[in-house]
Chain A
Amino acid sequence: MSNEDFKPVLLARLGKPNSHKLENYKADGGYQALAKALAMKNTEVIDVVKTSGLRGRGGAGFPTGLKWTFLPKDVSGPIYLCINGDESEPGTFNNRVLIEQDPHQVLEGIVISSFATRTTTAYFYLRYEYGRCYRVLKDAIDEMYANNLLGKNILGSGYDLDVHLHRGACAYICGEETGLIESLEGKRAWPRIKPPFPAIEGAFRRPTVVNNVETMACIPHIINHGAEWFMSMGVPKDPNNPRDAGSYGPKLYCISGHVNKPGLVELPMGISARDLIDKHAGGVWKGRKAKAVVPGGISMGFMSEKELDTPLDFAGPGRVGCLGLGTAAVVVIDDHTSMVDVLYNACRFFAHESCGQCTPCREGTAWSTKILERIRDGRGKLSDIDLLLEISGSMGTIPGTTICGLADGAAWPIKNAIHKFRPEFEEYIKSGRRSESPALAGAH
């Protein structure tokens, strides 16, 4: 399918009047997938999702159906589904739009996924900042209880499910699935050492699945139209790479930064950053050129201008040295912007959001920020560049020094910025220039 023929799936109801109301969702065919799924065996639902090749949309791209099969087969007592609505990766806002505009699409996916995983209580962890989403979801959940779509004996199937909303408190680390679980349990959001993985021992020490909001929104469509339909979109798996799981289905791309029309676009997986910017975001603003582009939230690093033809599928960004597709949040940086300032902003973010549990992350994010502050203050040394690289190479799960991936995400922008834009850092330091950021005392 070419991108020109593509009709939005997840955003099909965007902009319709009262798209968030149950009656309108039903009038557009909503909850037919749920009725269909409830007439199947739960294992059949898992099989369809597994066959479709759906991979988690939250950042790691783990195959959703496969994740569900990791739950123990014979388990007595509760299994929990946690919905990760803690979307906090800079540049990312697709969950916000999905929830505000079409909450029932997400909730239908949650009920189907809960049924598939034999969950009877699901927790929707929503970042505090999304107050409007909270109110929209609360009303939508009330509508569902009133219409036998939640509660006891859903649609006469004998299946029971409760969904509870749980609000976060402004901490990026709650997006890490075991950090989310700890936060849900009422503790500081310190990610857990794995194994055990959540499927074996998660929320309240019970088997648990954690899935992203956009992933949930895909589920009703897969049940309605089948695995083959889902696989007709996107980028097939590489036959020469047995570890490639392919990049199937539609994807929401967030575009922000220096473009004429920032916004949310849905396309089959695999569009290039260049096409996204030029064809779907009105091009780079003020007639300028792009200097660097973040492929999927700042933790994924940077692509340079000459790498912009890279397809934004699960495998593409990694081929040009980025950490991955992440959340597919594309942030465009124009050629009038200093990469020193951009990297400082990224480092400052991670220093603020490191949970402090692992020394390499806590110290690495803080020191890289301090070094960049020194450079921006005109007191940098050329050796600072290699020092930054050394720090970035010593923290994260990829060198194996931390419990979770936050440190990898903090290190990647440093690695990419220096490898791809080193002369700019050298020139900045040699010139002794200073960035007069309108920054503020004690502001980090």
Chain B
Amino acid sequence: MQGIGFDIAHMLAGSLVLMSFIQLYQQRLSALLNVFALHALVLALSVAWQAYVQNAPHLYITALIALVFKAIVIPLALRRIVIRLGIHREIENVFGVGLAMLLGIGLVALSMVVMLRVTSGADPLAREDLAFALSVVLLGLLMMVTRRNAVSQVVGFMSLENGLVLAATGAKGMPLVVEISVAFSVLIAFIVIGIFLFRIRERFDTVDMRAMDRFREEQR
């Protein structure tokens, strides 16, 4: 049981990292949103598996939150926004996909080295989980840095948060109350960001961050 449990948890966490890479690879917003939904689905599966392995029923609620909000509600809402803004075909990258992928590989290697060093002596399941979670967090950050469009920055932020949840469930530390409040804060952040996107769009006729940067230049 320990062997297969570890393997499946490892696989699911690894798939989450893979999803992050796929996100990095996507250039169009609608495809990106699909991958983000998949990302959240894998997270939900991973959390559910952790609940089963650790015999911690409250983690099922976390998994359910991830599934309902992150895999269904938020991607659907973002898709509506993107379509209403008419930017679902937009292509936007600061630099090439290849370079982003290379950087991502470097980040994963870095997080592996760091985590395996720091957590030596801990439970191997938690160690692997933490290493993967840090990779997901870093890849989410990389996504936020390398994208120009506000929507894809939001997606980067959300996937970063997925990494945090993965770390929390793997480490058996986070109480349910904190998870629920984090989930709600993400939801609220999403709502606020959604409203802002429309406001920004009204003002600038675009959600490309370069327009806002230009505006700041003039303010200077």
A, B in one complex: no
Residues of A near any B CB (own CB < 8 A): none
